[in-house]
Structure 1
Amino acid sequence: MTTALRRPVEVRMLADGPIEYRFERRGPGVLLVLHGGHMRAGLALGEEAFAAAGWTVLAPSRPGYGRTAPRAGDSVAGFADAVRALCDELGIARVAAVVGISGGGPTAVALAARHPGLVERLVLMSAVGPLPWPDRLTRLGGRLVFRPGVEAVTWAAIRLFLRVGGRRALHALLAGVSTGRGVAARAGIGPADEEMLLALFGAMRSGRGFIQDLRPGPDRGRPGRQPALVIASRTDGGVPFAHAEALTAALPGATLVVSRAAGHFVWCSPDWPAIAERIDAFLRSPPGRDD
């Protein structure tokens, strides 16, 4: 099992407590990446295209994940302010985009709205939008199996399931984040994608973060006016496609890009290289807005 997804992290003490982050310096342009549930700063999911294009990446762990304190922002808006403070500490005055992935979407939107002088653009991938999420059954189940003291056992069981079942087990997990059935739930996912996903599921943890993600409803402030690219699959079983449509409607100047991915992981699709090129072109375009 590869460990290519794993990267070293740092911790910075701020007013609301410690924030864990990864700061990979490349070119002058900075992307601020907010990953989703069960993720932390040390896991670089979906960032290969950013690295290949020479972008510097700042990826903080959200509250309760990794070594970021659960109190590091007592709300989505509060953590957005904490991330702004982290940027100030690191000398980052401007980011080309905030990239919000899955459960990181609400914080990305809040950061752009609350700190327009920092954020030039938004890129949202399979992101939770301004709709209720998740459904009641998922919320109740998540609170049972991913609560502190239990989530470590849950992830140990998932890893054992993968070791014993291999790709069959992986296919079963993928079916849980796709509205497709059978082969349709993993259509277009090649051997390299499977290796990456096996490594990802082998490294995920929930800490206290996922329980916080399950709190009802993201903060709904007035959206920012930055250009936005919203990327999602119609067969996403983790965050329904309706969230992408709602984000596109709510964000002025947003463009919706429909991925042909079989489910939640938009990077695992034959059309991902074309989408990655579109993202890079978007990131290098003039911001086209006033602060």
Structure 2
Amino acid sequence: MKRRVETITFDGGTLEYSVTGKGTPILVMHGGHSNCYEEFGYTALIEQGYSIITPSRPGYGRTSKEIGKSLANACRFYVKLLDHLQIESVHVIAISAGGPSGICFASHYPERVNTLTLQSAVTKEWLTPKDTEYKLGEILFRPPVEKWIWKLISSLNNAFPRLMFRAMSPQFSTLPFQRIKSLMNEKDIEAFRKMNSRQRSGEGFLIDLSQTAAVSLKDLQAIICPVLIMQSVYDGLVDLSHAHHAKEHIRGAVLCLLHSWGHLIWLGKEAAETGSILLGFLES
């Protein structure tokens, strides 16, 4: 995928970002372990005349971790980015662990947000220090260990893509692998391999873990733009309670429950429906 990748510096902090496509601007808040090279769901949007701006969130890619001292501070930098690009307002798509960033941005800068789409998104406190996943995340996904973890995963995935998909996909779903297999596309294996090849945690995932509780009811209730919430009923990473929580507290929000095989709603036999629903919302 062709994209322009640049960095800008404000107040001593560096923000990395990419721009791909031409047309109506969309600002994407990528999920955990990702960066400005994210690409899930991008092709359909670009083909329909959208431009996608993806900042590497704090601690990811070349973006300074200091920008992420709070969600509000990070959002201040996203505003600076839009000003730099001379963009007045955008559609916002917030994915997975990028959910809190999208919520904060939409609630604090309503004049800059046309719509907000939450995809498989964290909308309240997620993992806590008491959770095993949190403890493992702090060990495995902190520098410099995370670099070697992702190198190992990438190497294994490149060498044994089908085996790794079978081993790892159940982490993203509540379904057993045989059910995942019945709902997946053959292209999912390659998309999964590419995902694991571009992922890194940097300092970003630890920041994500520490900030999910920073999303308040006040933030959700302050959002005034149209909101679409999309999540698979089989999501194995982010509990469905997050989608229902957002629906309950964001005025007028539309909840769309999907039947894709798991957290990665851009994959599987239902992927076309995911794209169609999103485009319909953006164009309404």
How does the TM-score come out when normalised to structure 2?
Answer: 0.93
Per-residue CA deviations over 1:200-233 (Å, capped at 9, x if unaligned) read 1112111111111111523324321111000001
| Aligned position for 2:154 | 159
Bigger helix share: 2
Pair 1:103 & 2:97 matched: yes
Does the CA contact (< 8 Å) of 2:158 and 2:193 recur in 1? no
Per-residue CA deviations over 1:100-132 (Å, capped at 9, x if unaligned) read 011111110110100000001111100001233
Does the CA contact (< 8 Å) of 1:231 and 1:259 recur in 2? yes
Does the CA contact (< 8 Å) of 1:93 and 1:118 recur in 2? yes
Matches within 5 A, 1:52-201: 52-95=47-90, 97-133=91-127, 136-201=131-196
Per-residue CA deviations over 1:164-220 (Å, capped at 9, x if unaligned) read 433021121111111112212444221112111111111211111111111152332
Which deviates the most, 214-223 or 12-21? 214-223
2: distance between equivalents of 1:243 and 1:63? 23
| Aligned position for 2:43 | 48
CA RMSD, Structure 1 to Structure 2 (Å): 1.7
Which secondary structure does the structure 2 equivalent of 1:9 belong to? Answer: strand
Taking every aligned residue pair, what percent have the same amino acid on both sides?
A: 30
Q: Which runs of 5+ in 2 are unaligned?
A: none
2: distance between equivalents of 1:25 and 1:196? 20
Structure 1 ranges of 4+ moved more than 4 A: none
| Aligned position for 2:18 | 22
Which secondary structure does the structure 2 equivalent of 1:175 belong to? Answer: helix
Change (3 A) 1:146 1:204: same
| Aligned position for 1:288 | none
Change (3 A) 1:275 1:162: closer
2: distance between equivalents of 1:222 and 1:64? 23
Which secondary structure does the structure 2 equivalent of 1:176 belong to? Answer: helix
Residue 247 of structure 1 deviates from its aligned partner by 1.1
Residue 16 of structure 1 deviates from its aligned partner by 5.0
- Whichever residue aligns with residue 127 of structure 2, its letter is W
Which secondary structure does the structure 2 equivalent of 1:144 belong to? Answer: helix
Q: Which runs of 5+ in 1 are unaligned?
A: 286-291
Which secondary structure does the structure 2 equivalent of 1:215 belong to? Answer: helix
Aligned residues: 279
Pair 1:222 & 2:216 matched: no
Which deviates the most, 134-143 or 102-111? 134-143
2: distance between equivalents of 1:266 and 1:214? 22
Matches within 5 A, 1:210-289: 210-215=205-210, 217-220=213-216, 221-223=218-220, 224-285=223-284
